[in-house]
C-alpha cells in the first residue's frame, strides 16, 4: 500500500521537484518505508512506499528496461504471479519479484486494456514516453482512491485530496452543490469533489492524457452485471460461495509482512477470520473495538469468534473523548465525510498497526449478501400486502393474486429512484429547511451523478435494486473510502476479500431468495448463505441476532446531558460558525435542541454538520494563496 502523486506540464517545461515533494510529503503516512521521485519533462511522478511484497526490490517509481515507461502505483495485484508467467511466455523479462513490474509489462503488452486483466486493488499512473501519454486507472470496486485536476497548463493527480491541494494552482472554489450532495449521501459522489474542477476518478475507470493535453476519458473498463442464475439449490450455492470466498481470502493473504484481521463479531468479519484460520498454520491475529454503551457493543460476539477460531485477540474500548481525533480525520479525508463509523475504524486500525502491517476486513458482505436492515424494510415496502400478515394469509395470497390480480397485486410497482430516500443522511425536506434562501435551488433528488446508475438498475429485480445501487455508490464512496483513509492514517494496509472482483461477479449471480428470507416471526433477515457457512461453529443466538453495525453512540453522546452535548452546542450555536454562510442558524440549532436519545434522534444529521463545520474551519485556515472562493 502506498501513496502516489504527480503532474504533467502541457508546455513541456521541466517539472518542479519541490512541488512533487510537497505532494508526497502529505501522503507520507500512506508509505513510511520509502520515498521516490522521477522527473523527466514533461512529467513528475512521486511515490511513498509501504512495503508489503518484495521488500527489497519493489521501490518506485519503477521503469521499463529502456526507461521510457514509468509507473507510480498504489495497491496490490492478487493475480500478479499468474500474469507474470503469462507475460514471460510472451517474451517479457523481469528484474524484480514485485507486482509493480507486472503493471509495467502489462502496459507494454496490452496498453489501456491492461486493467482488464488485473485482479486486486489499485490506483496508478503510467508515463509512457514512447506514446507520449499519461495513463491513470482505478480498481474495479473503488478500493483505492485517485484524485486529479486539469488546467490549461497542467494535469495533476494524487492518492488524497489533501496532497493535491499542495499544488499551487489546484482549484479552490468550494461547490455548494457538492455540500448538498454530501448532506444527502454522507459523501460527495464521484466524479465530483467538494471543489469545483477537482475530480475523483470513479471506480473501474481509466483516463489517458496526451502530453499536449488532449484527453480520453474517464471511461469505464468494467461493469458489474446482475444476472441471477435460477435452478440451483441452496446447498449448492453454499458450496460454490465457500469455494469463491476461500479463493479470495487465500489470494488476499499474499504478504511478506505480519498480518491480521478486524473482528467486529458480525457475520462478515467472522466469516473472513474463519476462512483465514483454515488457511494458516499459526493463529490469526484479530482486533476489535467496543463501547461502554451496551447496544453498540459487540465485543462478546467478537470474543466468541476469537475463542472458536483460537485467534490471538486484541481489543479496546472507545469512549466519547475519542471524537477528539475529528480534526485529524477531516484533514485526511480532505472533504466532508459523514459516516461516523470512521471513528471506530480509526481506532481498530491504530490497534492493529501496533501488531501488524496488513489486516483483512469483512467490508462488502452486506452489499454482496443482502445484510443491511434497509434491504429488509425495502422488501416489506414493495410487498405491502404481505406486511405483518399471519402465515395462513401469506400462503393464501398467491391464489388470490391469480384469481383477482387487480384487487390483490403481488407487489408495489417501483422504480430505482425510489430507493434513494432509504439511503439519505439528511432528507430532502430537512435540507430545504436548513439552506439559506439563496441556495434553495441546490436541493435535488436524485443527484446527477447517480442518474446513470439508476438507469442501469431498471433491469434489476426490485428485490435487488438496493443491492445494485449500493454496490455502485455506498460501497465505494463510503465504506471502502472510510476503510482506506482510516487505515492509511496509521500506515496500515487494509484488504477487503469480500469486495474482490471475483466475489462481486459471483454474488451478482445469486438469486436474492438465497440470501434474504423471513424468520419464524415473519421478519426479513439476510446473509443466509454466509450464515450456513459459519453455522458449523455458531448457534442461532450468534447468527440471528439483530445487526448492530459499526457506528458510534452519537445518540447518547449528543443527547441532553451527554458527553458531547456541550461541545456540539458550543460549535453549532456560535455566531462565527462557518456553516452559517450556507445554512439558516435557527434551522440548524433546532436540530440540536430537538435531539433526544430515543424519540427524536437527530444524531446522524448533527454529526454531518459537525464534520462539515470542522472541514470548513480547516479549509479556511489552510488557504494561503487567497480567501477560499464560494460559487453558487
Please name the residue ranges forming H helices in 418-560. 428-434, 451-456, 465-472, 474, 481-488, 501-507, 512-515, 528-534, 540-543, 554-558
User: Is-catalytic flag, 170?
Assistant: no
Q: Alpha-carbon distance 535 to 538, whole Å?
A: 5
Element (H, E) at 395: helix 391-403
Q: Alpha-carbon distance 338 to 335, whole Å?
A: 10
Q: Alpha-carbon distance 372 to 515, whole Å?
A: 12
Q: Give, as one character, the DSSP assignment of residue 535.
A: T
C-alpha cell at 432: 430545504
| DSSP states along 216-268 | EEEEES------PPPS--HHHHHHHHHHHHHHHHHHHT--SS-EEEE--SSHH
Do the beta carbons of residue 31 and residue 3 sit within 8 Å?
A: yes
- 617 class by beta-carbon count within 10 Å (0-12 exposed, 13-18 middle, 19+ buried): middle
Q: Alpha-carbon distance 355 to 492, whole Å?
A: 10
Do the beta carbons of residue 349 and residue 323 sit within 8 Å?
A: no
C-alpha distances (whole Å) from 361 to each of 286, 506, 598 are: 10, 19, 31
Q: Alpha-carbon distance 242 to 336, whole Å?
A: 38
Q: Alpha-carbon distance 24 to 158, whole Å?
A: 8
List 312's β-bridge partners, or say none: 285
Please name the residue ranges forming H helices in 151-223. 161-164, 176-185
- 560 class by beta-carbon count within 10 Å (0-12 exposed, 13-18 middle, 19+ buried): exposed
Q: Alpha-carbon distance 160 to 333, whole Å?
A: 7
Q: Is the dihedral of CA 105, 496, 28, 8 positive or negative?
A: positive
* Helix, strand, coil percentages in the chain from 3-state DSSP, rounded to 5: 45, 15, 40
3-class DSSP state of 4: strand
Residue 564: CB partners within 8 Å, gap ≥ 6? 320, 323, 554, 557, 558
C-alpha cell at 569: 452546542
- The residue from 2, 127, 156, 475 that is catalytic is 2
Rounded to the nearest 10 degrees, what angle do helices 99-110 and 80-89 cross at?
50
Number of Cβ within 10 Å of residue 625's Cβ equals 9
C-alpha cell at 444: 435535488
Q: Alpha-carbon distance 576 to 260, whole Å?
A: 45
C-alpha distances (whole Å) from 465 to each of 457, 470, 471 are: 6, 8, 10
Q: Alpha-carbon distance 59 to 50, whole Å?
A: 10
Active-site residues: which are they?
2
Amino acid at each position: 500500500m502506498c501513496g502516489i502523486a504527480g503532474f504533467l506540464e502541457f508546455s513541456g517545461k521541466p517539472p518542479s521537484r519541490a512541488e512533487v515533494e510537497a505532494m508526497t510529503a502529505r501522503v507520507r503516512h500512506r508509505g513510511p518505508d520509502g520515498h521516490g521521485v522521477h522527473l523527466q519533462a514533461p512529467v513528475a511522478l512521486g511515490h511513498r512506499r509501504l512495503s508489503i511484497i518484495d521488500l527489497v526490490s519493489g521501490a518506485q517509481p519503477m521503469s521499463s528496461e529502456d526507461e521510457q515507461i514509468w509507473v507510480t502505483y498504489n495497491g496490490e495485484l492478487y493475480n500478479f504471479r499468474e500474469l507474470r508467467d503469462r507475460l514471460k511466455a510472451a517474451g517479457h523479462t523481469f528484474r524484480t519479484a514485485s507486482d509493480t513490474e507486472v503493471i509495467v509489462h502489462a502496459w507494454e503488452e496490452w496498453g489501456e486494456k491492461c486493467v482488464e486483466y488485473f485482479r486486486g486493488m489499485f490506483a496508478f499512473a503510467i508515463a509512457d514516453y514512447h506514446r507520449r501519454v499519461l495513463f491513470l486507472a482505478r480498481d474495479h470496486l473503488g478500493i483505492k482512491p485517485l484524485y486529479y485536476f486539469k488546467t490549461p497548463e497542467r494535469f495533476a493527480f494524487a492518492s488524497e485530496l489533501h496532497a493535491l491541494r499542495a499544488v499551487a494552482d489546484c482549484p479552490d472554489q468550494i461547490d455548494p452543490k457538492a455540500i448538498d450532495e454530501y448532506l444527502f449521501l454522507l459523501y460527495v459522489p464521484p466524479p465530483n469533489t467538494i471543489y469545483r474542477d477537482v475530480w475523483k476518478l470513479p471506480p473501474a475507470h481509466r483516463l489517458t492524457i496526451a502530453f499536449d493535453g488532449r484527453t480520453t476519458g474517464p471511461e469505464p473498463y468494467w461493469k458489474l452485471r446482475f444476472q441471477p442464475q435460477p435452478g440451483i439449490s441452496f446447498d449448492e450455492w453454499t458450496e460454490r460461495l465457500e469455494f469463491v470466498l476461500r479463493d479470495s481470502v487465500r489470494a488476499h493473504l499474499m504478504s511478506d509482512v505480519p498480518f491480521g484481521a478486524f473482528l467486529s463479531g458480525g457475520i462478515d468479519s467472522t466469516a473472513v477470520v474463519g476462512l483465514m484460520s483454515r488457511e494458516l498454520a499459526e493463529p490469526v491475529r484479530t482486533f476489535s473495538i467496543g463501547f461502554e454503551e451496551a447496544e453498540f457493543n459487540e465485543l462478546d460476539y467478537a470474543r466468541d469468534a476469537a475463542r472458536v477460531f483460537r485467534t490471538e485477540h486484541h481489543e479496546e474500548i472507545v469512549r466519547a473523548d475519542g471524537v477528539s481525533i475529528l480534526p485529524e480525520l477531516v484533514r485526511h479525508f480532505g472533504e466532508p465525510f459523514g459516516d461516523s463509523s470512521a471513528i471506530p475504524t480509526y481506532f481498530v486500525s491504530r490497534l492493529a498497526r501496533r501488531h501488524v502491517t496488513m489486516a483483512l476486513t469483512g467490508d462488502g458482505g452486506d452489499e454482496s449478501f443482502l445484510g443491511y436492515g434497509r434491504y429488509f424494510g425495502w422488501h416489506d415496502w414493495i410487498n405491502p400486502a404481505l406486511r405483518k400478515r399471519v402465515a395462513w394469509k401469506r400462503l393464501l395470497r398467491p391464489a388470490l393474486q391469480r384469481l383477482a390480480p387487480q384487487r390483490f397485486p403481488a407487489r408495489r410497482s417501483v422504480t430505482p429512484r425510489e430507493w434513494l430516500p432509504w439511503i439519505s443522511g439528511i432528507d430532502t425536506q430537512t435540507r430545504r429547511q436548513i439552506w439559506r434562501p439563496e441556495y434553495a435551488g441546490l436541493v435535488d433528488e436524485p443527484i446527477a451523478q447517480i442518474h446513470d446508475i439508476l438507469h442501469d438498475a431498471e433491469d434489476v429485480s426490485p428485490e435487488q435494486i438496493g443491492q445494485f445501487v449500493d454496490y455502485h455508490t455506498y460501497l465505494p464512496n463510503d465504506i471502502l473510502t472510510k476503510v482506506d483513509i482510516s487505515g492509511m492514517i496509521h500506515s496500515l494496509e487494509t484488504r477487503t476479500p469480500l469486495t474482490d472482483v471475483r466475489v462481486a461477479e459471483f454474488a451478482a449471480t445469486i438469486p436474492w431468495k438465497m440470501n434474504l428470507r423471513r424468520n419464524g416471526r415473519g421478519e426479513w433477515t439476510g446473509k443466509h448463505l454466509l450464515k450456513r457457512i459459519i453455522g458449523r461453529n455458531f448457534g442461532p443466538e450468534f447468527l440471528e441476532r439483530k445487526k448492530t453495525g459499526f457506528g458510534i453512540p452519537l445518540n447518547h453522546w449528543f443527547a441532553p446531558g451527554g458527553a458531547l452535548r456541550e461541545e456540539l452546542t458550543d460549535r453549532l450555536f456560535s455566531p462565527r460558525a462557518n456553516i452559517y454562510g450556507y445554512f439558516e442558524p435557527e434551522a440548524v440549532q433546532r436540530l440540536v435542541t430537538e435531539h433526544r436519545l430515543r424519540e427524536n434522534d437527530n444524531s446522524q444529521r448533527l454529526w454531518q454538520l459537525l464534520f462539515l463545520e470542522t472541514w470548513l474551519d480547516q479549509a479556511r485556515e489552510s488557504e494561503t494563496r487567497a480567501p477560499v472562493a464560494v460559487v453558487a
